């Protein structure tokens, strides 16, 4: 069965390159987006958590979208983070996304105010009814404080055709099984954690909304393609090789480590906006050692 809407298998939750002053470096935005497309990303998520969305203004988001559009040139889809813990604000951001003509939005479970399942249904119903854009729901209990249950996702997916998928950042494989059992067959599930991509795909997930694809995008795409073509041992071996990087990129609050990794590659500077803080020198050395080790292992077996 055809998917409701396919944003691809590897969606990169792109960081927002910044200058030392905290101003966005739009030249680096374009060059980074081009790099991501050339290294396996099928879509780019702009202004997600990895993009430091809580610190971005609407004006900055408009310019970010325009910069990524210039770099992508229709070679990949653009998804905009448009969630909020205020339903009125989420609707406003969603309408803003539609005006900017992005391909889809990511809408997170409301955070901090901790709605129950009924509140989540009412929230996402209002968002879905405000737009024609495809919507990917985002369940990340570690940041929101509440877990959206499979039956809630299934209810929304059955009621609204423009709710096309879910980013699931919750390490419970039973819940993934329940999602696949309860949701429509053409509803897409993405792993929201790089280390869970292969386990979730074994249960029917379509791909990943990734952080590690900034550094190892081609390898992640290879892992996914190998799994889908039945090359299970090759997929598992790639997962095992990349696993140390998957874990180390979350040694500090996201996106601090991945920005340090990108700086190590010479692609951007590692500047972040407060209240985030850069890695310590010891942490940076530790991260770079892991990246070099994984690269060496991939090169030796390549």
Q: What percent of the chain clears pLDDT 70, i.e. is strictly above it?
A: 99
**Mean pLDDT (whole number) for 168-185:** 97
In the block, tokens 């050339």 appear at: 38
pLDDT of amino acid 236: 98
Strands (DSSP E) found in the chain: 10-13, 43-46, 77-81, 104-108, 135-139, 163-168, 188-191, 207-210
pLDDT > 70? residue 302: no
Residue ranges per structural domain of the chain: 10-229
β-pair partners for 45: 13, 79
Is the pLDDT at 208 greater than 70, yes or no?
A: yes
Annotated catalytic residues are 138, 167
Question: Of 274, 207, 242, 143, nearest to 6 (Cα)?
Answer: 207
Q: What pLDDT, on a 0 to 100 scale, did the predictor assign at position 300?
A: 82
Residue 152 to residues 72, 139, 145, 157, 300, Cα–Cα distance (Å): 34, 11, 16, 9, 46
Spatial separation of the C-alpha atoms in residues 7 and 76, rounded to whole Å? 8
Class of domain 10-229: alpha beta
pTM above 0.95, yes or no: yes
Q: Which pLDDT band, with edges at 50, 70 and 90, does 210 fall under?
A: very high
pLDDT at 239: 98
Which pLDDT score, from 0 to 100, does residue 205 have? 98
Span 211-230, average pLDDT? 98
Contact present, 136 and 7 (Cβ < 8 Å): yes
Cα 138 off chain centre by = 9
Here the tokens at position 227 are 């799994």
Per residue in 82-119, pLDDT tens? 999 999 999 999 999 999 999 999 999 999 999 999 99
Predicted confidence (pLDDT) per residue in 34-80, tens digit: 999 999 999 999 999 999 999 999 999 999 999 999 999 989 999 99
């Amino acid at each position: 069965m055809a998917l409701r809407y396919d944003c691809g298998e590897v969606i990169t939750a792109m960081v927002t390159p910044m200058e030392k002053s905290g101003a966005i470096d739009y030249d680096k935005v374009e060059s980074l987006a081009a790099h991501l497309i050339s290294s396996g990303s099928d879509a780019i998520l702009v202004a997600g958590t990895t993009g430091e969305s809580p610190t971005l203004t609407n004006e900055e988001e408009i310019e970010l979208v325009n910069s990524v559009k210039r770099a992508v040139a229709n070679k990949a889809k653009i998804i905009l983070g448009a969630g909020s813990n205020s339903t009125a604000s989420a609707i406003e951001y969603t309408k803003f996304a539609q005006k900017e003509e992005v391909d889809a939005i990511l809408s997170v479970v409301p955070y901090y105010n901790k709605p129950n399942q009924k509140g989540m249904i009412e929230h996402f119903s209002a968002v879905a009814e405000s737009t024609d854009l495809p919507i990917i729901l985002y369940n990340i209990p570690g940041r929101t404080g509440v877990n959206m249950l499979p039956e809630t996702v299934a209810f929304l997916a059955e009621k609204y055709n423009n709710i096309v998928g879910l980013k699931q950042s919750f390490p419970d494989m039973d819940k993934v099984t329940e999602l696949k059992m309860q949701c429509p067959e053409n509803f897409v599930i993405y792993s929201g954690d790089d280390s869970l991509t292969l386990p979730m795909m074994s249960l029917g997930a379509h791909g990943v909304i990734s952080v590690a694809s900034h550094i190892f995008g081609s390898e992640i795409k290879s892992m996914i393609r190998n799994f889908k073509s039945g090359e299970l041992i090759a997929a598992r071996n790639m997962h095992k090789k990349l696993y140390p990087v998957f874990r180390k990129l979350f040694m500090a609050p996201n996106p601090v480590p991945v920005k340090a990794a990108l700086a190590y590659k010479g692609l951007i500077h590692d500047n972040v906006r407060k209240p985030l803080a850069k890695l310590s020198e010891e942490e940076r050395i530790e991260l770079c050692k892991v990246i070099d080790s994984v690269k060496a292992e991939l090169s030796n077996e390549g």
